[in-house]
Structure 1
Amino acid sequence: MAGIIGVYAFDKIWNISKFLYYGLIGLQNRGYSYSGMSILKENFQLITNEGAPEDIELPPNIEGWAGIAYTGTKIGYPIITDFGTLVVDGIIKGDLNEIAKGLYKDPENTLKEINGVFSLIFLAKDGKMLGYRDSYGIKPLEIGGFGFDLAILSSETSGITVIGGEFRREIKPGEAVFIDTYEISYSQINESRHNYCAIDLVYQSRIDSFVFSKNIYEVRVKIGEQLAEEKKIDADVVIGVPDTAIPFAIGYSKKSGIPYDLGFTRTGSPIRTMLASDDFLKIIGVQLKLNPIKYVVKGKRVILIDDSMVTGRTLKNTVFALRSLGAKEVHVLIGSPKLISKCPYGMEVPEEKDLIAANLSEEEIAKVIGADSIYWLSLEGLYKVLGKSICVGCMTRNYPKVI
């Protein structure tokens, strides 16, 4: 799982280093264990960091008119080759140096031959930039611009808008975009099959983004409304785990008529507990980033909505915290179907043995996390909101056969 971004100035007098840096920070919700960027002036300058993009230290004299950057959960990107620099979100088969060579010398035929589930951005040594999504479209890629001066490629639109850019459109599955100092052109390289990642829409993307041509906030409000249709609960207040699940809670409140309230206040930088590599962070990640508000929950029957449940450890701690502050009842609703299988395409869903919903009944899970009840969005409800052109393999064990 990764966030990738490319920034390209049509005039070489520009220095895009800060645009690239802050755009990458806008994508660290997609992974933050490793990050790096490659900036081109006469030559490439590579900066890597074992940590989040916000911890990258830019050299004071760094300059360049084009660059690409990566933030993710495993090291290795960006890579510099004899032919250019490459960043990848997803799983790509083959030697990356050979792929970079092919993208430089014969990009369209090379893209026809690459296997995997990925989006990529390639910045060639001659200054041309290329973006591409594989034909299944499981990984996103968007394009925008900064006036007529910059072109911006990004995993999601937050990487574009946080630096003042304007979102233009989605790169279609199987489509390549070619950028040079004279023009931006598009080519449909491979057949478009459309299997958007459901977890990207439900959990991974920022609520202020457009991904897969969908407004993430609107999607999640509709999921909350769907939860209210499927599971009616007699309660006093609805709260959502920030930031991802707040729109779910708003949607549930609108549909059910139960008041929504702010249940938590942030205590530090966002921590995506599903993406955490440290077991300590996985266990107490919610407490590190959020603190419940006693006034909202004391003496009340609380509906707590979260985007997903992986191991159950963070929700167990959250439910315990709400009860410690005097919540009379805690009913947990999950804005996605049960996660029961590891993702083979790079989304950070753990092994099946570690997924609580794959190993325990609903009654057992409610008891483990200390909730009065628990309910997951139905698969039919997810399809109703998102349509059926989505990958739900981690929820069904049925994956598109793409590798």
Structure 2
Amino acid sequence: MATPMNCRESCAVFSVSSNLDEVDVSPVIFGGLLALQHRGQESTGITVLKNGKIQTFKGLGLAIEVFNHNILKSLSAPIGIGHVRYSTYGSSDIINAQPMEFESKLKFALCFNGTIVNYEELRVELEHDGYVFKTTSDSEVIGFLISKALKRSLNLTDAIIYGMEKLRGAYSVLLLAEDGSIVVFRDMYGFRPLCVGYLKDLEAYVFSSETSGLDAVDATFIEDIPPGSINVLKDSEITRLKVYSSKHAHCMFEWVYFSRQDSTVEGVNVFSVRWKLGEKLAELNPVEADYVVPVPETSRIAALGFSSKSGIPVMEGFGVNRYALRTFIMPRDRGYFARLKLNPLKQVLEGNQS
């Protein structure tokens, strides 16, 4: 039996839906996933609606490793969703890669960013109802809950409401249905970021885990998706239903580590937060030192803020292997990967206070 601790995900989701049938959004989704690659390096996937049929391609590794020109060409379509994944626990097997497809009264695919804390309880309930799990991903629980409600003759929106009522935890979900709709829903706390923008040249709405994803494809930011809401995009119009009142409880780690420095999360710029944290640290903990040495990459901005406030110069103290994977999002052997990534610059660190 898989438990919630077996698979913790905080990934990235991205979607493009054009009003123009001749537009191919797969390269745009690919570009968005590249921009969000820092949020997950284990697997990458894209699902499109092509000629009225859902089609998915996914694999283990980075977006640039999984996809090439021919694969993207085979996914040519005006609407699609994409995902990059990491798990701090559990299997890095292809079966856990997303998006995941679900057969029901209305076939759909979904991808997810977050953690369902009552995963085990819901899995037992669904298995009792006859659902057979093939993965250890929270996404399968979400998909089966929606499928279960659809089989009860509920429409898609009501089926998602049923799922949201059962789920406990953090979730930002993109769902692509075979009827051509994209449905976006988010937990009441807004724990993980999710925003929407518009790409004028393609007449396309773009959903992204971070604003940096919108910037990468030249989409204009519209707004953050309100926590506790369901947003249905169909025929180039977005219909919103508020299911829960927002109880804002965002993950501070988004500003500290997860998000790119050029992203703005819930109206607050990531670069600004990291700089101010460095300034505050210097104010609260004054020290005598020769240098401020950041541990690459995320802490660099905080180090600059600390230096600005304290007057202590910043100095690079580590050589960085640019080809090493981001150590936090590797599920195993994190210490080993950290050693591969960082090497102390002895000529800087030895004999100095830092």
TM-score normalised according to structure 1 size: 0.69
Per-residue CA shift, 1:278-329, capped at 9, x if unaligned? Answer: 31xx123334334455665454322xxxxxxxxxxxxxxxxxxxxxxxxxxx
Match of 1:271 in 2: 325
Q: CA deviation at 1:10?
A: 1.5
Question: In the alignment, is the contact (CA less than 8 A) between 1:139 and 1:197 conserved in 2?
Answer: yes
Say if 1:169 and 1:267 are closer, same or farther in 2 by CA, change over 3 A: same
Distance 1:170 1:263 in 2: 37
Match of 1:90 in 2: 114
Distance 1:22 1:182 in 2: 22
Tell me whether 1:253 sits opposite 2:263 in the alignment.
Answer: no
Match of 2:155 in 1: 105
Q: CA deviation at 1:135?
A: 0.5
SS at match of 1:13: coil
Match of 1:132 in 2: 185
Say if 1:191 and 1:146 are closer, same or farther in 2 by CA, change over 3 A: same
Q: Which amino acid aligns with 1:56?
A: V
Say if 1:246 and 1:133 are closer, same or farther in 2 by CA, change over 3 A: same
Q: How is 1:63-82 mapped onto 2 (pairs within 5 angstroms)?
A: 63-74=76-87, 75-82=96-103
SS at match of 2:302: helix
Distance 2:114 2:301 in 1: 27
Say if 1:137 and 1:270 are closer, same or farther in 2 by CA, change over 3 A: farther
Distance 1:209 1:257 in 2: 27
Say if 1:21 and 1:244 are closer, same or farther in 2 by CA, change over 3 A: same
Question: In the alignment, is the contact (CA less than 8 A) between 1:84 and 1:125 conserved in 2?
Answer: yes
Per-residue CA shift, 1:10-39, capped at 9, x if unaligned? Answer: 111110111111211211221211221111
Greater shift, 16-25 or 82-91, is seen at 82-91
Q: How is 1:194-233 mapped onto 2 (pairs within 5 angstroms)?
A: 194-233=248-287
TM-score normalised according to structure 2 size: 0.78
The share of aligned pairs that are identical, in percent, is 31
Tell me whether 1:37 sits opposite 2:32 in the alignment.
Answer: no
Q: Which amino acid aligns with 2:263?
A: S
Q: Which amino acid aligns with 2:194?
A: L
Q: Which consecutive unaligned segments of at least 5 residues does structure 2 have?
A: 1-9, 88-95, 123-140
Q: CA deviation at 1:166?
A: 2.2
Say if 1:41 and 1:225 are closer, same or farther in 2 by CA, change over 3 A: same
RMSD: 2.2
Distance 2:252 2:219 in 1: 26
Q: Which consecutive unaligned segments of at least 5 residues does structure 1 have?
A: 303-403
Q: Which amino acid aligns with 1:123?
A: L
Distance 2:345 2:145 in 1: 54
Distance 2:341 2:156 in 1: 47
Distance 2:198 2:236 in 1: 15
Q: CA deviation at 1:115?
A: 1.4
Q: How is 1:382-401 mapped onto 2 (pairs within 5 angstroms)?
A: none
Q: Which amino acid aligns with 1:80?
A: E
Greater shift, 111-120 or 44-53, is seen at 111-120
SS at match of 2:329: coil
Match of 1:47 in 2: 57
Match of 1:390 in 2: none
Distance 1:67 1:28 in 2: 18
Match of 1:285 in 2: 337
